[in-house]
Amino acid sequence: MQDRLLLLRLLRAQRITRIWLVTSGLLLLGLALAGGSMRLTQAGGGNLVSADVFYEVMSVHGSGMVVVGLMAGAGVLWYLVSNEVELSVTVNRIVFLLTLSGLVMIVLAVMVFGYSSAWTFLYPLPEHPGSGIATAAIGAAAYLIGLALAVVGFLLWCLDFLRAGLKRCGSLQRLLGFYVFGSAGHGHSAENDPTTTNPSLIAGTVCAILGLSACVIGALIVVLMLTSLVFPSLTLNALVAKNMIYFTGHTLANLQIYVAAGIAYSVLPLYTKRPWRLSRALVAGWLATLAIVMLAFFHHLYQDFAQPEAVQWVGNVVSYAAAIPPMTVTIYGGLVLVWRSGIRWSAAPLFTLMAMAGWAIGGFGAVIDSTISLNQFFHNTLWVPAHFHTYMALGVMFFLIGATYHVVPTLTGRQMKENVGRRAAALMGFGGYGLVLCWYISGSMSAPRRYLYPLSGTEVLAWIAVACAAVALTGAVMVCKDLIDVFLASPHYNLPELVPSEV
């Protein structure tokens, strides 16, 4: 009887994960194509479409990428750890529906009501969008409600992850691996204890705690802005609102890479046949990350001179500190794990390794931008999308694609095509780095971001960026096509296969 229940749960878990994978794969591809169309419009001098349409596409691209990038990672991590902690399939389904509903609302807000105030929705821009579109206020309300739905979805994911983790480990300290600092020393001495934690669970728990705080503040600012929209006499303090928005926005965007790190902890060991063990450094790194991510958002406000100066220094120090845990724990640990392991670079570990490279290189670009005196010249130039696309497009997305190549066989009983994966990796790597290189150079030439046209002197770079984006998108289309082909050709479930074994 218990076996039947376990089997039923496995089937339900597989079904919802299949839905997550296919939906987010298609959405991410669509959003990437939207980004590519923005590049084309910009390189063409803004003559292809009107400014209204350009900024509507920009709003969908930014909002969609943050929501889908985060939730796709959350969906994959959920599946990878679902044999270690009793996560709720029902909650996962609700999370999926809320995320999808939120995205539909956001798309409606943009396409039907003309919302174009970007994913940052800085107060009071949604109230005064400056577009002259009559339905802009309805669009702003629809956008904020859509965002709230997605935020509530992630909030539920966080709560369920913490509930299941606490059920396994008994306490938050144990779930976060505090016991490695005790006399027993490193975690592997207690490997067979079912109440121990592991690197993926620690990563997920830190993300859940950070996610909870971001969602609460995010929900609050959304409610305040909605209220202000309905009652215009209620005005908010623009600086406080900006702090709240960036606390939420930066944290949720940043969590994408940390959720992806949790995925890597589960995936990479299976290909190196080496365990990613718990260590004092790993636990300390994640505890530091918990504090760092909460405070790093201040670097978005360096140019708000009204902000207390001490806070700006905190932003600089913490942003620098943010580089240390990935570079000494996760990325370093990943490289040690593969070193002389005799690994065969199939698509799953290949994309995972490339993702770590994107994280490291993009992080370096971010550290430069987070230096207050340099931010004076880089803030809101193309250097900004350059560095975040390096660790999002060439980091988070590669982690997700690597995980997809790993997970799909367990869901369908079929492998995705390895040769397609390797070719796509080459195209996406070549095109992706070409694209961000054009942005880094343009940023150093002071070209502003979110501009309809390239600044004088950067026109050629804008066109090269379009060509590189086209190459990278070709790789993305190949992966998506392969993914869809496998799902269409596979049975609805994969009974004989089990979810990946515990690392």
**Residue type at position 311:** V
* Residue 130 main-chain phi, psi, to 5 deg: 70, 20
> Could you say which of 40, 217, 445, 464 contacts another protein (CB under 8 A)?
445
> Could you say which of 30, 46, 413, 434 contacts another protein (CB under 8 A)?
46
8 Å CB contact between 25 and 101: no
Does the footprint of another protein cover residue 135 (CB under 8 A)? no
8 Å CB contact between 104 and 150: no
Question: What span, in angstroms and rounded, lies between the C-alpha atoms of 249 and 297?
Answer: 8
8 Å CB contact between 483 and 25: yes
Nearer to another protein, 266 or 279 (CB): 279
Question: What span, in angstroms and rounded, lies between the C-alpha atoms of 454 and 83?
Answer: 50
Structure tokens at 109: 């807000």
CA terminus-to-terminus distance, the chain: 27
Does the footprint of another protein cover residue 242 (CB under 8 A)? yes
> Could you say which of 22, 295, 368, 467 contacts another protein (CB under 8 A)?
368
Question: What span, in angstroms and rounded, lies between the C-alpha atoms of 360 and 377?
Answer: 22
8 Å CB contact between 114 and 63: no
8 Å CB contact between 266 and 499: no
Q: List binders of another protein among 104-133 (CB under 8 A).
A: 116-118, 120, 122, 124-125, 128-131
Token look-up 């001495």 returns 189
Question: What span, in angstroms and rounded, lies between the C-alpha atoms of 96 and 502?
Answer: 25
Nearer to another protein, 29 or 118 (CB): 118
Please report which helix (H) or strand (E) contains residue 147, including its range: helix 136-169
Q: List binders of another protein among 158-217 (CB under 8 A).
A: none
Report in angstroms the alpha-carbon separations of 339 from 96, 218, 258, 403. Answer: 38, 42, 23, 20
Does the footprint of another protein cover residue 444 (CB under 8 A)? yes
- Only one of the segments 20-28, 145-153, 191-199, 373-381 lies at the binding site for another protein (rule: CB under 8 A); that segment is 373-381
- Only one of the segments 18-26, 144-152, 400-408, 438-446 lies at the binding site for another protein (rule: CB under 8 A); that segment is 438-446
Does the footprint of another protein cover residue 151 (CB under 8 A)? no
**Residue type at position 438:** C
* Minimum gap (Å) between residue 335 Cβ and another protein: 5
Structure tokens at 91: 């909650």
> Could you say which of 357, 400, 407, 462 contacts another protein (CB under 8 A)?
357
Whether omega for the bond prior to residue 232 falls within 30 degrees of 0, making it cis, is no
* Minimum gap (Å) between residue 476 Cβ and another protein: 21
Nearer to another protein, 368 or 470 (CB): 368
Q: List binders of another protein among 286-345 (CB under 8 A).
A: 303-306, 309, 312, 316-317, 320-321, 323-324, 327-328, 332, 335-336, 338-345
Q: List binders of another protein among 51-110 (CB under 8 A).
A: 51-52, 54-55
Bridge partner list, 381: 448
Q: List binders of another protein among 377-436 (CB under 8 A).
A: 377-381
* Minimum gap (Å) between residue 193 Cβ and another protein: 21
Token look-up 């790190």 returns 261
Nearer to another protein, 27 or 221 (CB): 221
Structure tokens at 121: 């929705």
Size of the site for another protein (CB under 8 A): 86
> Could you say which of 270, 452, 470, 471 contacts another protein (CB under 8 A)?
452
- Only one of the segments 77-85, 101-109, 219-227, 369-377 lies at the binding site for another protein (rule: CB under 8 A); that segment is 369-377
Nearer to another protein, 153 or 365 (CB): 365
* Minimum gap (Å) between residue 210 Cβ and another protein: 22
